[in-house]
Structure 1
């Protein structure tokens, strides 16, 4: 009988000692997130002796997929309250179970997204690890900066009813495993704010899963109306999951900004002093130029806009013109050193020292 009492007393003491160790995980604020921020944990040992413990972290994404796990070595926790951080658990062993995580540095970033982080507190029980407690929190990882809109400028007036939209990517980029963008363009109705319009109105143009940081309003689309106010926004996604969104900017189109002119049933693209959008052309580049300077000819050049040979001139020549409206047809061939799919700048300078031009993407025609 005495031996049974001694055994039961020892067992109760052991159970009591285990129950006296508790943890509270401190959820970090939403925003930029390092792996080290996952390990801010308050440990309370209400016993009198130090207790060996280990923590296992399981991080799952919004789809329920386990993204990574992290396991600490067993460390002693003395009696009382102690605030522990990543350095106290070092070395932490991570296992990466998803391609979402591109930064495998223990001090690196977590990928953009919303996650559940569950922590298992383990102690040694009869020589084997035993889970004593589980604590779960939700965390949201956001970029330091969302996409920043660039052109057209906010509240500006565009010269082109087929504008090009550009922006800067969110930062830091290494938080993204697969960064893409959704682009939204809407008309702002009278009495609406731009923020209301972008949410409530049917898009004039919507484009998803764009990997570049620019979008051209399609030449096949209806030209934007000169009497309307437009709003646009860019949404960044990581692995097709929302990450961040830009501000909403607005612009109008100048009333005299006809992008192309019809002549004899053919469309001729206007030369402008600030060419933005890129047009696709094949055998013949058809251009409209209003010769107000009363020049008799224009010297032109075609130069590369590619990063690897920016500014390299591939073709030059002279075009005879007359006063007033000119509908110019310039033959293009791959013999002109034009490469298919590459973007070039066609430019001229008149006697007033004004630069006029157009950006073109060359596609080899069927006749070549």
Structure 2
């Protein structure tokens, strides 16, 4: 009887040791996944393999890309050689993989050569040693559409003023992809009302789904816009019926046509030395200014997008912002249309500074000349 008990304990010990060994072996391979590059076109494999075992041989890898809802989009498979205790790097163009597309629409978009469509993704990579099932590992990583999507309002501009009773809303999408649609929502705002809360709770003045273009004319049958009232609008981007992401709310104020200040089209050169600090001017495509000087110097221009509600200024990078000053009256044109994108009827702050420390600060209301032809 004692022999039987002893034998049983020995068998149990061997079994437990075997199970423990397999469990340990399963963690002898580690996968370190890199974040998804939305422009990647060569391979889903962007990772490091850390072999912490004595195994030397071949590994099979499978990368599965799926939507957040679990819909499989594509699968890639490859094999690599690895040595004991080796760290191997697999990066995009250096990987030869077999690709299998699981979704026809996704396949068309991906093979356009632009990269991954803007969606919420889950990427899982599995690895297993050939000839040794105990050496295996799997890692998954999530990617949000916010990593890919860059939506910007063109008109009305953020915190801008409009005067058309039926404006044409337009926006820019810099992801460069096709195959998705937009949902458009517009609500009126009470004073100091939270825009996100209003968009969630209020009955929208306009709510149109599945737009396939980047613009929308204010519907003729919608409630008319009210004079001096603020509004918030928002876009939701969809791909194959799946909501991908919603933009931040964008604001504008409507003023009736009779309150519109006539926009001058042929502006003369403004003497910046005579401007009061904080003055507001119009700039149609460019800002023309003159500067009388008794010595040679240089003027550097800085441009900031001005937000009235918060009073904050966001710097706008200029590629050509230096002006050489000679003795006498100098005339300059600061290009605001070709070298930088500015929003129509949006207020900006300009700062002009000379080498000898003189500063001139004022505001301009930018006018896109294409909108007043």
TM-score per shorter chain, which class? 0.5 to 0.7
User: Structure 1 residues 250 and 120, CA, compared in 2 at 3 Å: closer, same or farther?
Assistant: closer
Structure 2 Cα separation of the partners of residues 68 and 51 of structure 1: 27
Task: Tell me the residue number matched to 1:68.
Answer: 74
| Aligned CA-pair RMSD | 3.9
User: Structure 1 residues 97 and 41, CA, compared in 2 at 3 Å: closer, same or farther?
Assistant: same
Structure 2 Cα separation of the partners of residues 106 and 27 of structure 1: 25
| TM-score, length of structure 2 as denominator length | 0.55
Report the alpha carbon displacement of residue 211 of structure 1 after superposing the two structures with TM: 0.5
Q: Deviations over 1:141-194 (max 9, x none)?
A: 5354421101112333322222211111231x23x4x12111111111223233
Report the alpha carbon displacement of residue 207 of structure 1 after superposing the two structures with TM: 1.0
Task: Tell me the residue number matched to 2:332.
Answer: none
Correspondence 1:102 to 2:108: yes
Contact 1:101/1:111 (<8 A) preserved: no
Contact 2:59/2:127 (<8 A) preserved: yes
Contact 1:121/1:131 (<8 A) preserved: no
Structure 2 Cα separation of the partners of residues 22 and 89 of structure 1: 24
Structure 1 Cα separation of the partners of residues 96 and 208 of structure 2: 45
User: Structure 1 residues 115 and 247, CA, compared in 2 at 3 Å: closer, same or farther?
Assistant: closer
Report the alpha carbon displacement of residue 42 of structure 1 after superposing the two structures with TM: 2.5
- The 5 A counterparts of 1:133-212 are 133-142=136-145, 144-171=148-175, 173-174=176-177, 176=178, 178-212=179-213
Greater mean deviation of Cα atoms: 18-27 or 109-118? 18-27
Report the alpha carbon displacement of residue 195 of structure 1 after superposing the two structures with TM: 3.9
Contact 1:181/1:237 (<8 A) preserved: yes
Structure 1 Cα separation of the partners of residues 152 and 256 of structure 2: 28
Stretches of structure 2 that go unaligned for 5 or more consecutive residues are: 1-13, 265-370
Task: Tell me the residue number matched to 2:28.
Answer: 22
Contact 1:30/1:141 (<8 A) preserved: no
Task: Tell me the residue number matched to 1:122.
Answer: 128
Q: Secondary structure at the match of 2:191?
A: coil
Q: Deviations over 1:207-239 (max 9, x none)?
A: 111011110111122211114211112222222
Structure 1 Cα separation of the partners of residues 68 and 157 of structure 2: 36
- The 5 A counterparts of 1:1-368 are 19=25, 22-29=28-35, 32=38, 34=40, 36=43, 38-47=45-54, 50-73=56-79, 75-86=80-91, 90-98=95-103, 99-104=105-110, 109-125=115-131, 130=133, 132-142=135-145, 144-171=148-175, 173-174=176-177, 176=178, 178-256=179-257
User: Structure 1 residues 117 and 162, CA, compared in 2 at 3 Å: closer, same or farther?
Assistant: same
Stretches of structure 1 that go unaligned for 5 or more consecutive residues are: 1-7, 259-271, 275-356, 360-368
Structure 1 Cα separation of the partners of residues 93 and 83 of structure 2: 13
Report the alpha carbon displacement of residue 91 of structure 1 after superposing the two structures with TM: 1.0
Report the alpha carbon displacement of residue 273 of structure 1 after superposing the two structures with TM: 9.2
Report the alpha carbon displacement of residue 76 of structure 1 after superposing the two structures with TM: 1.8
Contact 2:180/2:237 (<8 A) preserved: yes
Structure 1 Cα separation of the partners of residues 157 and 122 of structure 2: 39
Structure 2 Cα separation of the partners of residues 179 and 22 of structure 1: 42
